[in-house]
Amino acid sequence: MSNPSLLILAGDGIGPEVMAEVSKIIDWFGANRGLNFDVSHDLVGGAAYDAHGVPLADETMAHAQEVDAVLLGAVGGPKYDDLDFSVKPERGLLRLRKEMDLFANLRPAQCFDALADFSSLKREVVAGLDIMIVRELTSGSYFGEPRGIFEENGERVGINTQRYTESEIDRVARAAFDLARKRAGRVCSMEKANVMESGILWREVVQAVHDADYADIELSHMYADNGGMQLVRNPKQFDVIVTDNLFGDLLSDVAAMLTGSLGMLPSASLGAPMENGRPKALYEPVHGSAPDIAGQGKANPSACILSFAMALRYSFDEGAEADRLEAAVEKVLADGVRTADLMQTDGGTPASTSQMGDAVIAALDASL
């Protein structure tokens, strides 16, 4: 049998730097755990635009459809700010999500104990936090038609459309309930059913899926604005949150900051199972390309490394190895090896991106 395949799209800004550390980790699992991958590399975002004039070449898109999992770094940067909307770096990422039909975006927000003091909230509010946001990723106002900037009555009007079909809501609700079964068994669904018809339908369908197939799960509904407030007030009340594309974009950034640093948060974007039973999958850190620190060896590779841990868990059914990698990152933090984003102002010399990666490798060695 051939090895499972990985396509690495390191992208822009700090993407290549943090991905270089992931490559070390991938090699470690090959050398020490017999987990070998066929790894290929390609371009996305501004890097793809520079080479091909588009943020994702058709050949790259086709290759992404064939591999077992895509690992993505980050896209975008000020150099590309003035590009036409249709070729902006972000469009490359949105194309991957849409064409691979990656409808379930898993964004865990976990507060590592060693980092609880970095949160803008009090330690007792965030210590031990472990929530999972499931964001719908292929529909809603990101993709709904009509969209565009049009002329109307002598002025311009900008239009985006919030649109959800029953089947789109149904499948992401199932993804959330399935996850909750492996966690604390609670799902909170967030929408704006008080003002939006798409929210009314969302609530109805989530409830119907629950009643038909997931009665063992505790389901609650919340308006998304209240959800944002509750995430800051008392985040530990949540287990799994399921919400639409735009609300999920906002709420996952809020949840991210609870944990202290955006540099810690991984994500998985999953679609339907492929022929080999593995889901279509793309893994990426929640942080962006951070152009202000790119190329300086300052970036925290943890989110990208933890995204690979999610790949081990969700694509390759290697939950124990994912646990091993997550524990290694946690140990490094507890030992006080920190990149600049995780230093107190008087905290001494920060670790570089590669020192952080090497420390994770050392912790993996120690785990054997």
Q: Tell me how crowded residue 345 is: count the other CB atoms within 10 A of its CB.
A: 4
The single-letter code of the amino acid at 20 is: A
90 binds ligand IPM (CB under 6 A): yes
Residue 90 binds which entry of ligand IPM, Mg ion, none, CB below 5-8 Å type-dependent? ligand IPM
Q: Which stretch binds ligand IPM (CB under 6 A): 44-52, 86-94, 173-181, 290-298?
A: 86-94
Nearest to 188 by CA among 149, 131, 269, 250: 131
218 near ligand IPM, rule: CB under 6 A: no
- The piece of 90-98, 148-156, 190-198, 349-357 that touches ligand IPM (CB under 6 A) is 90-98
In the complex, the smallest distance separating the C-beta of residue 37 from ligand IPM, rounded to whole angstroms, is 24
- Is residue 311 within the footprint of ligand IPM (CB under 6 A)? no
- Closest CB to ligand IPM among 130 and 249? 249
CB 289 within 8 A of CB 12: yes
Min separation Cβ 29 and ligand IPM, Å: 26
Which residue, 172 or 332, is less far from ligand IPM as judged by CB? Answer: 172
Catalytic residue among 178, 225, 323, 358: 225
| Partner whose footprint covers residue 175, from Mg ion, ligand IPM, none (CB < 5 to 8 Å by kind) | none
Residues in the chain: 368
DSSP state for residue 351 in the 8-state scheme = P
Residue with the shortest CB distance to ligand IPM: 90
Catalytic residue among 88, 192, 280, 331: 192
Distance of CA 324 to the CA centre of its chain: 20
Nearest distance, CB of residue 131 and Mg ion, angstroms: 17
**249 is an interface residue for ligand IPM by CB under 6 A:** yes
Q: Is the peptide bond before 146 cis (omega within 30 degrees of 0)?
A: yes
- State CA 365 to chain mean position distance: 27
> 107 or 192, CB closer to Mg ion?
107
Distances (CA, A) of 160 to 112, 140, 142, 193, 320: 38, 9, 8, 18, 43
Contact between 14 and ligand IPM per CB under 6 A? no
Token pair 């090959």 is found at: 30
249 catalytically annotated:
yes
C-alpha gyration radius of the chain: 20
Residue (300 or 355) nearer to Mg ion, CB: 300
Q: Is 192 a catalytic residue?
A: yes
Contact stretch for ligand IPM (CB under 6 A) within 87-95, 163-171, 324-332, 357-365 = 87-95
Q: To the nearest whole angstrom, how small is the minimum distance from the Cβ of residue 110 to Mg ion?
A: 18
Nearest to 11 by CA among 58, 66, 50: 50
Residues 100/271, Cβ–Cβ less than 8 Å? yes
Interatomic CA distance for residues 71 and 284, integer angstroms: 6
C-beta of 118: minimal distance to ligand IPM in Å? 21
Strands 5-11 and 38-42: parallel
User: Residues 321-340: x/- map of binding to ligand IPM (CB under 6 A)?
Assistant: --------------------
Provide the 8-state DSSP code for 316: S
CB 116 within 8 A of CB 333: no
Active site residue 142: yes
Interaction residues for ligand IPM, span 93-132 (CB under 6 A): 93-94
List CB contacts of 135: < 8 A, sequence separation 6 or more.
105, 107, 243, 244, 245, 247, 248, 249, 251, 252
- Is residue 225 annotated as part of the catalytic site, yes or no? yes
Active-site residue, selected from the candidate residues 49, 80, 142, 164:
142
* Active-site residue identified among 101, 178, 249, 323: 249
94 vs 114 by CB, closer to ligand IPM: 94
Which residues have C-beta within 8 Å of that of residue 262, sequence separation ≥ 6? 253, 256, 286, 287, 303, 341
The site for ligand IPM (CB under 6 A) is made up of 90, 93-94, 249
Which of the residues are catalytic?
142, 192, 225, 249, 253
